[in-house]
Amino acid sequence: MATETAGAGSTSNVTRPVTRGWSIVAGSNDPCPTATPEHAFKATNPASGAELPIDFHPATTRQVQTAGEKAWEAFFAIRAKSPGDRARLLELIAQRLRGLGDALLQIASGETGLTTTRLMAERDRTVHTLLTFAEVVRRGDWLRATIDRGEASRSPVPKPDLRRMLVPLGPVAVFGAGNFPLAYSTAGGDTASALGAGCPVIVKGHPGHPGTGELVARAVTDAVRAAEFPPGTFSFLHSGGEREKSIGATLVRHPCVRAVGFTGSLGGGLALEKIASERSDPIPVYAEMGSTNPVFVLRHALEGQAKSIAEKLYASLVNSNGQMCTCPGLIFASRSDGAEALIRAMSDRIEAAEPAPMLGGRTRTNFLGRVNEVAKIEGVEARAGGPQAGHIPPGGAGGGAKHPVLASPALFRATYDVFVKNPTLLEEVFGPAAVVVICDTDEQLAEAATRFQGSLTASIFAGGYDAAAVRQLTTILEQRVGRIVYNGVPTGVEVAHAMVHGGPFPATNAPHTTAVGPMAIERWARPVCYQNAPEAMLPPELKSTNPLGLRRLIDGEWTDAKIERA
Ligand code: NAP
């Protein structure tokens, strides 16, 4: 377990998890002799602005190279492991993650400003994700094992024996987002699904939560050891300070890295995709990026429920101070008294809200920049918060040392015409800000649905008489988003078999898949067909004897182990 006894000067001798400030390369968390101390960086507590005491050392180029090489070696050893072994690895990671207890929540809260209550829910969700993938890997039907049996006597040519399944791609580089230090970071969905598929993982640590990342990485490393997987199965590379961008780029260019999972900003996702596509052997990058999550509030919903919808939207908007990929950024409402009541109710709540921590100075600077950009648009009215949104401390908007990094929510109102003329309104404002766009007719609402950029979600609030408009919107939204929410808000992504957390560009660069839910595992594998293979050469999943007892598609019919044996 990633624990050490509290050191000299400590008032207690209890065993507690610690971070050392060094990357973990194929099981080794030791100081790197060639690291340069002047490149060390520190984390900042956004709630107080104070720098945290530990020096984190960005990975050296040699460490990135070694992580890739060791991952490649491990890949072949993992191919020889059974699905049960891989499931057990995921279960051990889940167990070790839980074992980090409150120490993990406190470190994560100190680095991100997120509350321990929110982080506890995120930790539990991460554990649930790991266990879900363990179950998926054990069951094995994600591999889509398919057999078309040969027919030597077929005329005029014999029919070959064809057997197909998904085969893991190789080592995967994972880039987590700053706003989900657990669920979309070191042991989050990308890591869990890639390990489940049989791919070693190299995590590029997020500079906003390096201590959290290292602590989780030590728990994963410990689980790798306990499960008797090779050490190269998992590496964690610290990155931050001056070298932050080059570490990620070196990793994506590494010849042993065969795919990339990214969660973060549009700019970051596109930069990594470009690097990957310029390799002599381009590799896939699965980038989950920004999203505006439009909400449509129809006429009859506004008649009786304006205030309760406003309440739900407000709660969704300020959840984690708006730093959610599913934060509702655009609200399209039918012109009515109800729409104005909704704006008033949301504005009242926003005006009364205290400034809350942002994830870091960079996030707040970007947020304030975007809010001020929106506020300057002719015809956009600031209804709450407005251009001054965000608590600006004496040290300046960047949130320097010793100044809390805070921001307040903001709400704007615009007409449909203003929305149409200003494409900047289509772009994500990452933080607690939304624009209510007043639409004169149902046609304008439908037209608006064809205009916004690809998004993770869209929500429709409707009353009983809005059925025709809901039908029309649903048809349009199927083409624009990954998840359509009826009479509900977009925040709150359930980790479940039917979940889709994805969508057309720019929400992601791979709209045919999802980052949450079992289908995410398929991103790290590709289909391989074995033709007329001798039984001994076939992977267990495709052997005629079906030693794993998988459900398979044989000669066009789904069957299971019991039926096959009969
Ligand atoms: P970010 O600034 O893009 O950082 C994400 C990761 O990418 C970091 O590790 C960062 O490392 C790296 N990175 C960014 N640009 C890079 C570049 N040019 N070259 C190499 N590495 C690069 O994002 P964030 O601030 O952490 O997260 C906020 C964003 O994530 C929001 O837009 C939010 O909507 C989105 N998000 C999306 C989802 C989803 O599922 N779609 C979920 C959560 C968050 P360095 O800082 O070291 O460069």
What's the CATH number where 110 sits?
3.40.605.10
Domain identity same for 283 and 303: no
Q: Is 204 in the pocket of ligand 1 (CB under 6 A)?
A: yes
Distance (Å, whole) CA 54 – CA 44: 10
pLDDT grade for 209, boundaries at 50, 70 and 90: very high
Domain identity same for 198 and 270: yes
The catalytically annotated residue of 122, 288, 428, 541 is: 288
Predicted confidence at residue 7, as pLDDT, reads 36
Predicted confidence at residue 563, as pLDDT, reads 56
Domain identity same for 125 and 233: yes
Looking at the predicted structure, is the pLDDT value of residue 314 above 50? yes
Query: What integer is the mean pLDDT of 133-155?
Result: 97
Predicted confidence at residue 400, as pLDDT, reads 45
pLDDT in tens, 540-560: 999 999 999 999 999 999 987
Q: Does residue 512 sit within a domain?
A: no
The catalytically annotated residue of 32, 199, 256, 325 is: 325
Place of tokens 């990620």: 248
Q: Does residue 276 sit within a domain?
A: yes
pLDDT in tens, 232-273: 999 999 999 876 689 999 999 999 999 999 999 999 999 999
Looking at the predicted structure, is the pLDDT value of residue 225 above 90? yes
Q: Is 263 in the pocket of ligand 1 (CB under 6 A)?
A: yes
Predicted confidence at residue 6, as pLDDT, reads 37
Last residue of a domain, one of 266, 288, 310: 288
Averaged pLDDT score across all residues of the chain: 93
Domain identity same for 234 and 379: no
Q: Is 427 in the pocket of ligand 1 (CB under 6 A)?
A: no
Predicted confidence at residue 168, as pLDDT, reads 98
Lowest mean pLDDT among 275-284, 381-390, 431-440: 381-390
pLDDT grade for 385, boundaries at 50, 70 and 90: confident
Task: Tell which wins on pLDDT, 165 or 49.
Answer: 165
Question: Reading across the β-sheet that carries 146-148, which strands appear in turn?
Answer: 525-531, 162-168, 146-148, 552-554, 557-559
Q: How many helices (H) and strands (E) does the chain have?
A: 15, 21
pLDDT grade for 2, boundaries at 50, 70 and 90: very low
Domain identity same for 276 and 421: no
Looking at the predicted structure, is the pLDDT value of residue 281 above 70? yes
Predicted confidence at residue 16, as pLDDT, reads 56
Q: Is 113 in the pocket of ligand 1 (CB under 6 A)?
A: no
Predicted confidence at residue 38, as pLDDT, reads 85
The dihedral formed by the CA atoms of 363, 368, 373 and 378, expressed in degrees to the nearest 10: 150
Q: Which amino acid, one-letter code, is at 316? A: S
Domain identity same for 374 and 237: no
Distance (Å, whole) CA 521 – CA 532: 28
Q: Is 179 in the pocket of ligand 1 (CB under 6 A)?
A: yes
Looking at the predicted structure, is the pLDDT value of residue 13 above 80? no
Query: What integer is the mean pLDDT of 39-52?
Result: 91
Q: Does residue 282 sit within a domain?
A: yes
Q: Is 140 in the pocket of ligand 1 (CB under 6 A)?
A: no
Lowest mean pLDDT among 29-38, 197-206, 440-449: 29-38
Pair 367, 433: CB distance under 8 Å: yes
- Among protein residues, the one whose CA lies closest to atom 43 of ligand 1: 325
Please give the structure tokens belonging to residue 564. Answer: 């096959």
pLDDT grade for 534, boundaries at 50, 70 and 90: very high
Q: Does residue 501 sit within a domain?
A: no
Predicted confidence at residue 161, as pLDDT, reads 98
Specify the ligand 1 atom closest to the Cα of 249.
Answer: 20
Q: Does residue 59 sit within a domain?
A: yes
Query: What integer is the mean pLDDT of 518-530?
Result: 98
CA 179 – ligand 1 centroid, Å = 9
Looking at the predicted structure, is the pLDDT value of residue 485 above 80? yes
Q: Is 490 in the pocket of ligand 1 (CB under 6 A)?
A: no
DSSP of 312-366, one letter per residue?
HHHHHHHGGGG-STT---EEEEESSHHHHHHHHHHHHHHHHPPPEE-S-HHHHHH
Looking at the predicted structure, is the pLDDT value of residue 458 above 90? yes
Domain identity same for 193 and 309: no
Looking at the predicted structure, is the pLDDT value of residue 387 above 80? no
CA 334 – ligand 1 centroid, Å = 35
Structural domain total, the chain: 2
What are the residues whose beta carbons fall under 8 Å from the beta carbon of 262, sequence distance 6 or more?
174, 175, 268, 269, 272, 285, 286, 287, 288, 289
pLDDT grade for 18, boundaries at 50, 70 and 90: confident
CA 486 – ligand 1 centroid, Å = 29
Looking at the predicted structure, is the pLDDT value of residue 390 above 60? no
The whole domain housing 275 covers 54-288
Q: Does residue 534 sit within a domain?
A: no
CA 308 to chain centre: 30
Pocket test for ligand 1, best of 175, 266, 273 (most atoms within 8 A of CB): 175
Predicted confidence at residue 257, as pLDDT, reads 98
Task: Tell which wins on pLDDT, 138 or 244.
Answer: 138
Domain identity same for 315 and 248: no
- Among protein residues, the one whose CA lies closest to atom 13 of ligand 1: 268
- CATH code for the domain in which residue 419 is found: 3.40.309.10
CA 428 to chain centre: 16
Q: Is 360 in the pocket of ligand 1 (CB under 6 A)?
A: no
Q: Does residue 264 sit within a domain?
A: yes
Instruction: Tell me whether residue 325 is one of the annotated catalytic residues.
Output: yes
Q: Percent of the chain, pLDDT > 70? A: 93
Degrees (nearest 5) of the Cα angle 118, 289, 174?
A: 80
**What predicted TM-score, i.e. pTM, was given to this entire model?**
0.94
pLDDT grade for 15, boundaries at 50, 70 and 90: very low
HSE value, Cβ hemisphere, 13 Å, CA-based, for 519: 14
Predicted confidence at residue 562, as pLDDT, reads 57
Instruction: Tell me whether residue 278 is one of the annotated catalytic residues.
Output: no
Domain identity same for 270 and 130: yes
Pair 258, 198: CB distance under 8 Å: no
Domain identity same for 299 and 269: no
Please give the structure tokens belonging to residue 150. Answer: 């040969």
CA 532 to chain centre: 41
Q: Percent of the chain, pLDDT > 90? A: 87
Distance in Å from the first CA to the final CA of the chain: 47
Domain identity same for 282 and 299: no
Q: Which of 429, 374, 432 is nearest to 408 (CA)?
A: 432
DSSP of 203-256, one letter per residue?
EE--TTSHHHHHHHHHHHHHHHHHTT--GGGEEEE---GGGHHHHHHHHHH-TT
Last residue of a domain, one of 232, 257, 288: 288
Specify the ligand 1 atom closest to the Cα of 240.
Answer: 47
Q: Does residue 543 sit within a domain?
A: no
What are the residues whose beta carbons fall under 8 Å from the beta carbon of 342, sequence distance 6 or more?
297, 302, 306, 307, 309, 310, 313, 333, 436
Last residue of a domain, one of 288, 317, 340: 288
Domain identity same for 363 and 472: yes
